[in-house]
């Protein structure tokens, strides 16, 4: 790729590895479950797959499943390693009092949402403004995502423009629903201002999606001068969606080890690969690598209005 066609900034959004809550049919937004052992292997695999991308900076949610994924990406980078910055703006959607409760697909048409909640029923919500008590709606999450883009990503764009640089790579380790709002929040920075809709949901664990941001008129080695009040126009494009080929050779450890919580203090490698047994008569469910029970609302087939 020529320097003329190289964008100013390339942002790689990475969903976290499998968490222990991903293996349960529960609402898990700010509930801080760790990666499973399998999830840590996924994180290491995506880190290795991106090891030749020279990230200038890595940002991560403070929730363990995304933070550990971001750290795995950082660890795979060559020295000197890029800084990793933790931001609460990158946390998953908050499900309020529904956190940790089982979700169900369908709502009872004879009950209001409030009556569902009163009966300890936490169904999938289909409208962007709807939320669980004390939680966030998708509209709320989008507002937070816009703030994250403004505070974490756009400074790199304007810095690159003012320094005449192109090809600045940034990594963001976050969560499925948050990423599905971060991407549109960045895309509306395009000079068209068009929102792409709810088309970036259903990401697999550690799958990555890439967005490029170019500054109109920017040439490599030629700094641009402009006031903050009148920045140059941008061209923002999605180039890769839900890339997960790095998972092709990631296999779940047998005997329930892969589904157990990852312990970063674990020193005995045997604990990861042997010892546990599956109960008699228990058949392992068929699994699609990178897919899990996860949050119902994170699924691409959920109709959101």
- Enumerate the domain spans of the chain: 9-272+289-297
pLDDT tens-digit map of 108-150: 999 999 999 999 999 999 999 999 999 999 999 999 999 999 9
Q: Is the pLDDT of residue 228 over 50?
A: yes
244 is known as an active-site residue: no
Any known ligand binding at 16? yes
Residues listed for the chain? 305
Q: What's the CA gap between 260 and 232, in Å, rounded?
A: 50
pLDDT tens-digit map of 244-269: 999 999 988 887 777 787 777 654 43
Average pLDDT score, the chain = 89
Any known ligand binding at 65? yes
CB burial of 67-89 (b: ≥16 within 10 Å; e: otherwise) equals bbbbbbbbebbeeeebebeebeb
Q: What's the CA gap between 237 and 180, in Å, rounded?
A: 15
Weakest mean pLDDT among 15-29, 106-120, 175-189, 284-298: 284-298
Q: What's the CA gap between 97 and 27, in Å, rounded?
A: 10
pLDDT tens-digit map of 36-78: 999 999 999 999 999 999 999 999 999 999 999 999 999 999 9
290 sits in the region (left: phi over 0; alpha: psi -120 to 50; else beta) called left
Q: Give me the catalytic one of 16, 94, 169, 244.
A: 16
Tell the burial category of 142 from Cβ atoms under 10 Å away from its Cβ (0-12, 13-18, 19+). buried
Encoding tokens for residue 70?
Answer: 């971001």
Bridge partners of 222, per DSSP, are 219
Task: Assess contact for 201 and 180: CB atoms under 8 A.
Answer: yes
Q: Which residue has the tokens 């971060």?
A: 182
Please give the backbone phi and psi of residue 132, each rounded to the nearest 5 degrees, phi first.
-85, 155
* Predicted pLDDT of residue 265: 65
Q: Is the pLDDT of residue 98 over 90?
A: yes
* Predicted pLDDT of residue 280: 35
When pLDDT is averaged across residues 90-108 and rounded to a whole number, the result is 94
Any known ligand binding at 19? yes
Any known ligand binding at 20? yes
Interacting residues of 117 by C-beta distance below 8 A, sequence separation 6+: 97, 98, 132, 133
pLDDT tens-digit map of 161-190: 999 999 999 999 999 999 999 999 999 999
Any known ligand binding at 21? yes
Share of the chain above pLDDT 70, in %: 89
Q: Which of 240, 241, 244, 253 is nearest to 290 (CA)?
A: 244
* Predicted pLDDT of residue 277: 33
Q: Give me the catalytic one of 38, 92, 181, 244.
A: 92
pTM for the structure as a whole: 0.89
Q: What's the CA gap between 94 and 6, in Å, rounded?
A: 37
Interacting residues of 2 by C-beta distance below 8 A, sequence separation 6+: none
DSSP letters, 73-101, are HHHHSPSSPPPEEE-GGGSPPP-GGGTTS
Any known ligand binding at 237? no
245 is known as an active-site residue: no
Share of the chain above pLDDT 90, in %: 74
**What superfamily would CATH give domain 9-272+289-297?**
Phosphoglycerate mutase-like (3.40.50.1240)
Q: Is the pLDDT of residue 278 over 70?
A: no
Tell the burial category of 276 from Cβ atoms under 10 Å away from its Cβ (0-12, 13-18, 19+). middle
């Amino acid at each position: 790729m020529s320097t003329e066609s190289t964008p100013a900034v390339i942002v790689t959004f990475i969903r976290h590895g499998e968490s222990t809550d991903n293996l349960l049919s529960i609402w898990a937004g700010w509930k801080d479950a760790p990666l499973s052992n399998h999830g840590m292997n996924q994180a290491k695999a995506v880190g290795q797959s991106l090891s030749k991308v020279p990230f200038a900076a890595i940002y991560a949610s403070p929730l363990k499943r995304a933070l550990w994924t971001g750290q795995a990406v950082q660890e795979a980078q060559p020295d000197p390693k890029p800084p990793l910055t933790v931001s609460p703006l990158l946390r998953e959607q908050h499900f309020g009092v529904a956190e940790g409760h089982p979700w169900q697909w369908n709502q009872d048409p004879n009950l209001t949402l409030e009556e569902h909640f009163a009966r300890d029923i936490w169904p999938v919500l289909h409208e962007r403004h709807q939320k669980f008590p004390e939680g966030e709606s998708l509209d709320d999450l989008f507002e937070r995502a816009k703030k994250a883009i403004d505070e974490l990503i756009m400074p790199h764009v304007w810095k690159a423009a003012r320094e005449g640089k192109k090809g600045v790579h940034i990594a963001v380790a976050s969560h499925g629903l948050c990423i599905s709002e971060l991407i549109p929040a960045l895309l509306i920075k395009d000079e068209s201002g068009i929102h792409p809709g709810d088309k970036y949901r259903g990401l697999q664990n550690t799958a990555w999606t890439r967005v490029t941001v170019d500054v109109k008129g920017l040439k490599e080695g030629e700094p641009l001068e402009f006031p903050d009040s009148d920045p140059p126009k941008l061209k923002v494009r999605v180039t890769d969606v839900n890339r997960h080929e790095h998972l092709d050779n990631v296999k779940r450890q047998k005997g329930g080890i892969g589904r157990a919580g990852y312990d970063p203090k674990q020193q005995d490698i045997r604990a990861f690969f042997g010892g546990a047994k599956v109960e008699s008569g228990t058949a392992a469910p068929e699994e699609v690598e990178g897919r899990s029970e996860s949050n119902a609302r994170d699924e691409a087939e959920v109709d959101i209005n």
